[in-house]
Copies of this chain bind each other. A is one copy, B any other.
Amino acid sequence: MDIFTQYKPWIDRINECLLESVSPRLPRTLSEPIHYFLNNPSKKIRPLLNIFCCEAVGGNVEDAIPAATAIELFHDFTLVHDDIMDEDDLRRGKPTIHKKWDSGTAILVGDALIGLSFQQLVKSPANYLNQVVKIFSEALVKVCEGQALDKSFETAPQVTPDNYLDMIAKKTAWLFKASCEIGTTLGGGSARQVEQLSQYGYRLGLAFQIQDDLLDFTADENKLGKKIGSDFKMDKKTYITLRYQSILNENPALAKQYPLNETDYQSLADFQKALRELGVVNAVETEINQYFEESVNSLREALPQVNDHPLHQISRFLHDRQY
């Protein structure tokens, strides 16, 4: 049984809360695209992390539900705005909001989603409100920093794999971290547990994003819900292309045999072949596994006794995913 079947009651609950968070008094030009987006199924990884971190430290899961809803709304905001900036046409297999409506609508929908997310977050238990609003606001700034770095890479003369890791740490891993941090805080976890589960989320987020970059070159197009190699086609720097370039930069002999830029390839298939020949796929897979392992180590530190805990299962599921 996969985790989405197993945790369906929680996912259904979050979906209900998401829909309830949208005031029926919103103007139609705002509520329609918001419902369009919310009704499109998603994995709800981040709210599940939040809920299960709360539960893991002995908290009442009900206390984490508003924050879980807030976290998913926040995540949705980032997707809507990033899709405009990246000029992406599809999201979760459906036209993006700026494509189906227009950029102005997508900007507003994202802004409104931030508002709705804070409206949910503030329903969290009052004694932890200060901490959770702090963590959440910091995550909002971090995610903008990450996206700003990502954007700046488009025109940067040189981007190293380390630059890229710093970017995804902010753009992706930070919200995984914040989801765990908020859940553990709301569950009344100790400072040590908050730190350990934050680290768990952070490492998991890094593994997740690098894996995402890899799957964009290797996954099944129908399951992925977008074109394979879409990042390749638009000359967007990803961890995969940067690792490819960095191998060639360090090996003058190889640099004579392979084009330095992925855009010099005639087809995606040729580039994929080169990635395998140069060991990029294997190297990146090893790295992903390392981050997963480190995240599980942090998890074990926080929860030494709980081998079959949902947080373990989420990690395993993400580790094994093919799309």
**A260 contacts across to B, CB distance below 8 A:** none
**Residues of chain A at interface, number, CB under 8 A:** 42
A151 touches B84 (CB 8 A): no
Q: Find chain B residues with CB under 8 A from A118 CB.
A: 118, 133, 136-137, 140
Cα distance, A129 to B104, chains bound together (Å): 32
Given contacts A115-B137, A118-B137, contact A148 B107 (CB under 8 A): no
| Residues of B contacting A152 in the complex (Cβ-Cβ under 8 angstroms) | 27, 29
Write out the residue numbers on chain B whose beta carbons fall within 8 Å of the beta carbon of A115: 137-138, 140-141, 143-144
| Docked complex Cα distance between A103 and B104 (Å) | 11
Q: Which of A117-160 contact B (CB under 8 A)?
A: 118-119, 121-122, 126, 129-130, 133-134, 136-138, 140-141, 143-145, 147-149, 151-152
Number of identical monomers bound together in the oligomeric complex: 2
Asked whether A224 is an interface residue with its Cβ less than 8 Å from the other chain, the reply is no
Q: Are the C-beta atoms of B111 and A137 separated by less than 8 Å?
A: no
Cα A144 to Cα B130 in complex, Å, equals: 25
Give the secondary structure class of A's interface. helix
Is B151 within 8 A of A137, CB to CB? Answer: no
Minimum CB–CB distance for A113 against chain B, Å: 9
Residues of chain B with a CB closer than 8 A to A23's CB: 141
A111 to B85, CA, bound (A): 13
Across-interface contacts of A108 in B (CB, < 8 A): 81, 85, 144, 147-148, 151
Are the CB atoms of A29 and B151 closer together than 8 Å?
A: yes
Q: Which residues of B contact A143 (CB under 8 A)?
A: 111, 115
A137, B122: Cβ atoms closer than 8 Å: yes
CA distance A315 to B84 in the complex (A): 40
Contact between chains at A133 and B140 (CB < 8 Å): no
Is A30 among interface residues, defined by CB-CB distance under 8 A?
A: yes
A105 to B147, CA, bound (A): 10
In the complex the two chains form, is A122's CB within 8 Å of B114's CB? no
CB pair A119–B148 under 8 Å, yes or no, is no
Please give, as numbers and ranges, the residues of chain B lying within 8 Å of A234 by CB-CB distance: none
- Which residues of B sit under 8 angstroms from A137, Cβ to Cβ? 115, 118-119, 121-122
Chain A residues numbered 64-114 whose CB sits less than 8 Å from any CB in chain B: 77, 81, 84-85, 103-105, 107-108, 110-112, 114
What are 6 A-to-B residue pairs whose CB atoms are below 8 Å? Answer: A81-B111, A108-B144, A112-B145, A118-B140, A121-B137, A126-B130
List 6 extra interface pairs beyond A29-B148, A121-B133, CB under 8 A. A27-B148, A84-B103, A104-B151, A111-B114, A119-B134, A122-B134
